[in-house]
Amino acid sequence: MDRSVNLLDVALGFGEHQVSDQSPLSGKVVVIEDCVETSGSFVLHQIMKRLLSPPSSSHSLIFLAFARPFSHYDRILRKLGCNLAAQKANNRLVFVDMLMMKCSDGEEDNVSAVAKLFREIQATVRKLRSVTDTNITVMVDDMSLLEISATNSHHVLDFLHYCHTLTSDSNCSLVILNHEDIYLSLERPAYLLQMVCLADVVIKAEPLASGLANDVHGQLTVLNKGISSNSRNKLQNFQFRIKENGIEYFYPGSRT
Amino acid sequence: MAAPNVRTSSFSRNRSVVSSPQTPGLKCGPNGTTFVSTGIRDLDRILGGGYPLGSLVMVMEDPEAPHHMDLLRTFMSQGLVNSQPLLYASPSKDPRGFLGTLPNPGSSKEDKPTAPDPDQGESLRIAWQYRKYMENQKNAIDDYSNDFDMRKPLERQFVAGRPIDCVSLLDSSDLSVAQDHCATFLSKFPRNSSNIASVGRIAIQSFCSPLCEYSDKESDMLSFIRLLKSMLMVSNAVAIVTFPPSMLSPSSSTRLQHMADTLLSIKAIPDGDKDLEKLLTGYKDINGFLNVHKVARINTQVPVILEAQTFSMSLKKRRFLALECLNQAPVDGSSGTSYGTSGSCSGSSSKSGALDF
């Protein structure tokens, strides 16, 4: 068990709470921000694996896939040692394929498309809750694509707030991937600010300032705003190297 | 695309690995991907095999350099030579006219005869048992990619009667026409099983060109690319889209870059730049620079770290497009510390300047 807990897990609060069934993320919002140079999707994969693999048997995951088809995640997670197809059959993973989502047919439809999506999520949460008392996580990969398909960013903001109510009402967790660099040029990136404001944990994936390297793929900055049991670990920074079967995390300069 | 039978174990036999694809012009890649050739051997090598099927390639244009056209031309020619259907869209009145500028396959090693010399075969008798492998290998390479003679127009036999769809982006006020064309085109190549019957190629030139009527509707353009990408992911096709990032707002440009599976950019080389001339060997031959920002990551989370990101584009023998790592010219020991560090001069932040060392 100890072996599989890495720096990111610790920063998120996994590893200490394993005694109880309660997930350290329940009721929290995790926002992952990345940029063109460094993709942050591996963090999603890791959290996915952590939630679905055996020690935490009381987790369910609702995955909104805007970016990739199921086969992509299936292959990646299989290499990480987690079988998504089986989890899907067990109803522990609800995979919502949003690739073809289209809501550009006028304003009225537009509202309903995003609202409909939320209702779908809400219904799924209720259904999962009715079976067992599980921890439910809603994952979005990625939010910027929802923004594009919704065309109106206000609706996306509404969606975000609706989803946020899930965390307080049903104690769900919300894990969102978004791209930070899209908003950097905007004068008032309301959307990004709202998201960071709602977030309990912000994970930022960046490239190394010194450029590309073969053995260090980038750095993560984890800001844990939540009331963690050990409050000293609020802001953490470490580097990572992505491999097929897992991710190596290490503090800068500590790699042998 | 869920597998019909649910595996209960994480281990499963991958049957598709054993049988290499029978269709010419395809190459098996890692993680169950299949590559098609870019039409430039050097670029194939740099990208680890070519463009993977189902990927979206975005090329950022430089208003001062037309080399994105070369990438499009070789990509299209390679598809036609491998008899793959093609969809081409551009903001010109007569997009079909562009087909006349496509390069013809030629051999970059003209000096040597293409057929294996029988005498040479005799002298290599020691390795006779390997000969069939060598020939196999050679055939495989020729099936997959060609060298293109940029000065010779593509022969008619490759164009005439081939399924080529040309769309002008000028005709319509919105992107729905182009979208319909892409949808009908891609519906011919559904990805259902491991055997690939045919492969389609889509080339869209100067997507956000101000000539198009929709050029002020950035959200339309973004959703078009998003839908194109979604459709590509479930079909056996590759799309290459070139766009001028300077014509878009920075945030839209970044969004497009995020959506790209493979992201390339073209940079013009300043003419008669004395400093650069001193720095680079073969400065005179370099036509422009190609930056590789992102290499497609399909079915994997591991990023591809290239040895260098910036490559020089030049024409070998004035005909064949070649990409090379930048080679720093030897400098005087007194003035420079970077003597002979060839190849490793990757521009980590190529946005800031034309060249970073």
The closest alpha carbon to B214, from B101, B89, B326, belongs to B89
Quote the mean pLDDT of chain A.
Answer: 84
Query: Is there a contact between B305 and A212 if contact means CB atoms under 8 Å apart?
Result: yes
CA atoms within 13 A on the CB side of B5: 4
C-alpha to C-alpha distance for B42 and B45, rounded to whole angstroms: 5
Whether A255 is in a domain gets the answer no
* pLDDT confidence of residue A21: 63
pLDDT at A55: 63
From start to end of B281-325, where are the E strands?
286-294, 310-316, 320-325
By DSSP bridging, strand A173-179 and strand A135-141 are: parallel
| CATH code for the domain in which residue A140 is found | 3.40.50.300
How distant is the Cα of A169 from the closest Cα of chain B, in angstroms?
32
Give tens-digit pLDDT for B165-206: 999 988 788 888 899 999 999 999 988 766 788 899 999 999
In a domain, residue A18? The reply is no
Distance from CA of A226 to the nearest CA of B (A): 28
Residue A19 inside a domain? The answer is no
- State in Å, rounded, how far the first CA of chain B is from the last one: 44
Omega before residue A142 within 30° of 0, cis: yes
Question: Is residue A174, in this structure, part of any structural domain at all?
Answer: yes
**Residue A256, in any domain of the structure:** no
Half-sphere exposure of B187 (CA within 13 A, CB side): 6
| Six-digit token string for B300 | 């994997």
- Which residue of A76, A85, A214 is in closest CB contact with B3? A85
Least CB-CB distance to B302: which of A68, A83, A243? A243
Q: Distance between CA atoms of B206 and B204, rounded to whole angstroms?
A: 7
Give the pLDDT of residue A76.
Answer: 94
Is-contact B337 A246, C-beta < 8 A? no
- Confidence band (pLDDT; 50, 70, 90) for B292? very high
- What is residue B190's DSSP assignment? B
pLDDT given at position B8:
53
Average of per-residue pLDDT across B285-293: 90
For A209-251, the pLDDT digits (tens) are 887 788 899 999 999 886 555 555 578 899 999 999 889 999 9
B48-65 residue pLDDT tens: 999 999 999 999 999 888
Q: Which one of A99, A182, A243 has the shortest CB-CB distance to B230?
A: A99
Chain A residue whose CA is closest to B296: A39
Determine contact: A83 vs chain B, CB below 8 A.
yes
Residue type, B72: L
Whether residue A151 lies within 8 A of chain B, CB to CB, comes out as yes
In this predicted structure, which of A194-198, B103-107, B339-343 has the lowest mean pLDDT? Answer: B339-343
What is the C-alpha separation between B97 and B69, in angstroms, rounded? 14
Q: How many angstroms separate the CA of residue A40 from the nearest CA in chain B?
A: 9
Q: Name the token pair of B157.
A: 């036999």
The residues of B whose Cβ lies within 8 A of any Cβ of A are 1-3, 6-10, 31-32, 219-220, 222-223, 226-227, 230-231, 233-234, 249-251, 254-255, 257-259, 263, 293-294, 297-303, 305-306, 309, 346, 348-349
Alpha helices in B94-164 (DSSP H): 118-123, 128-144, 156-159
- Indicate whether A16 belongs to any domain: no
Name the domain count of chain A. Answer: 1
| B332 vs A26 pLDDT, higher one | A26
* Structure confidence at residue B192 (pLDDT): 78
Nearest to B255 among A88, A148, A212 (CB): A148
**Adjacent-strand bridge partners of B27:** B35
Tell me how close the Cα of A250 comes to any Cα of chain B, in angstroms: 17
Q: Which residues pair with B149 in a beta bridge?
A: B104, B320
Note which residues in 153-182 of chain A have CB less than 8 A from chain B: 179, 181-182
State the number of CA atoms in the 13 A half-sphere of A152 facing the CB.
Answer: 17
Distance CA B270, CA B278 (A): 13
Owning domain of residue A82:
7-11+24-100+110-250
Hey, what amino acid is at A57? S
Q: So what's the ipTM on this one?
A: 0.90
Q: Do B223 and A144 touch (CB under 8 A)?
A: no
Q: Check: pTM over 0.80? Answer yes or no.
A: yes
Q: Beta B164-168 vs B147-153: how paired, if at all?
A: unpaired
pLDDT at position B30, please? Answer: 86
Asked if residue A17 belongs to a domain, the reply is: no
A203 in any annotated domain = yes
d(CA B38, CA B303): 20
